[in-house]
Amino acid sequence: MDLRTFAAFLIMAVCFIKQSDGQITAWAETGGNSATITGASGTMTVAALSESVAANGALFTVTATPTGTDTIASYAFTTGGNPGTAGTIATATSGAVTATNAISDSIATSYVFEIIATDSAGNMGTATVTLSVADLPGLSDYEIPVCLADGAAIDTTNFAVSNAGAVTTAVATSASTKAGYAITVTATDANSKTSVANIWIVVGICSGAMKMTVTAALVMMSFVSAYLI
């Protein structure tokens, strides 16, 4: 083997070694609980997802880290790595996964996705991502007895309630004019689930034995009302 042939083989070997040194070294997830993977492949679990995610809504984003000057060329699901075609990777160069259809725990309580990242040198890694779907409970209904001091400000036709649940009034009350009020307050959470509070208000002396008597009467009224309804 002459010197030029030897040099050519040497250059090719160096190039091969340099290319083989490149690899995907880690994965990171955003949009859930910031899960990570060390190495080219591994598993991660994303925080429980609300069942209220609509079609095309964001599920999570995974980002693979290559070595050196390499860049990630594409992300794709493995064969069988997108159960029920629940997820979509709209942009191949992004690891953002969105919901193909609305997510519901009545369909599945968890999904296991497998995503392959390929870098510019052809190195690949696989992230196995488990995504659970939480059945978020609705708010509970309540019967709330309230004692309102005689003479307290109240609007007999229009109670106002703030987003914090504070009920405010406008004009003075009088037990001799009207001894009690019944109002209903409905709360709606971020998942469009509602809770109803039936508030029983008696106008009177709100201290000592009288307060205990009024409270007991209000509780009885709420039970009787619930039974009759």
Quote the pLDDT of residue 184.
Answer: 79
3-state class of 175 per DSSP?
A: coil
Residue-wise pLDDT tens digits, 9-53: 545 544 444 444 568 999 999 988 889 999 999 999 987 776 668
Which residues sit opposite 131 in a β-bridge?
Answer: 46, 111
Quote the pLDDT of residue 224.
Answer: 42
Tell me which DSSP letter residue 122 carries: S
- Looking at domain 142-228, its CATH class is mainly beta
User: Yes or no: is domain 3-134 CATH 2.60.40.60?
Assistant: yes
For residue 83, how many other CB atoms are within 10 A of its CB? 15
The whole-chain average pLDDT of the chain stands at 75
Q: 3-134 and 142-228 share one CATH topology?
A: yes
**Where along the chain do its domains lie?**
3-134, 142-228
* Residue 191 confidence (pLDDT) above 80: no
* Residue 145 confidence (pLDDT) above 50: yes
Q: What is the mean pLDDT of residues 193-203?
A: 72
| Backbone φ, ψ for residue 155 (5° rounding) | -100, 115
Tell me the C-alpha distance between 62 and 98, whole Å: 12
Which has the minimum average pLDDT: 38-52, 71-85, 118-132?
38-52
Q: What is the mean pLDDT of residues 93-102?
A: 92
Q: What percentage of the chain exceeds 70 in pLDDT?
A: 58
